[in-house]
């Protein structure tokens, strides 16, 4: 005899545990950069990504953490200024 029977998780339960992946267009729109720039950065290993075959996919949470990491915070950890946010976005485009 086998152990206690457990019901398989439904697709809805599984989906709630899995963070949806963004495609290049969605991730680029989120970062306000061109999709080709994003793909180039992914090829160079400059930005967190998941490559599935020839396609690039991105997790919103990892992109957010990456932006937080590269964003200058000279104000003691408070909100960044619009100017500093523009600087961070320009760095993304390089």
Domain with 56 in it: 17-72+79-93
pLDDT at residue 38, rounded to an integer: 93
9 found inside a domain: no
29 found inside a domain: yes
Total count of domains within the chain: 1
Q: Are 43 and 32 in contact (CB under 8 A)?
A: no
pLDDT at residue 64, rounded to an integer: 92
6 found inside a domain: no
DSSP the chain: --S---PPPPHHHHHHHSPPEE-HHHHHHHHTS-HHHHHHHHHTT-S--EEETTEEEEEHHHHHHHHHHHS--TTTTSPPPHHHHHHHHHHHH-
pLDDT at residue 72, rounded to an integer: 75
pLDDT digit string, tens, across residues 35-93: 999 999 999 999 999 999 989 999 999 999 999 888 876 555 555 555 556 666 666 65
pLDDT at residue 71, rounded to an integer: 82
Q: How confident is the model at residue 18 (pLDDT cuts 50, 70, 90)?
A: confident
23 found inside a domain: yes
Q: How confident is the model at residue 30 (pLDDT cuts 50, 70, 90)?
A: very high
pLDDT at residue 11, rounded to an integer: 59
pLDDT at 2 over 90: no
Q: Are 52 and 23 in contact (CB under 8 A)?
A: no
7 found inside a domain: no
58 found inside a domain: yes
């Amino acid at each position: 005899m086998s152990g206690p029977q457990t019901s398989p998780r439904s697709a809805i339960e599984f989906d709630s545990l899995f963070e949806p992946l963004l495609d290049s267009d969605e991730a680029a729109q989120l970062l306000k950069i061109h999709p080709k720039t994003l793909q180039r950065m992914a090829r160079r290993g400059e930005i967190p990504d998941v490559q599935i075959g020839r396609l690039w996919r991105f997790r919103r949470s990892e992109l957010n953490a990456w932006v937080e990491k590269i964003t200058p915070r000279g104000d003691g950890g408070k909100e960044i200024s619009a100017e500093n946010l523009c600087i961070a976005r320009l760095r993304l485009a390089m």
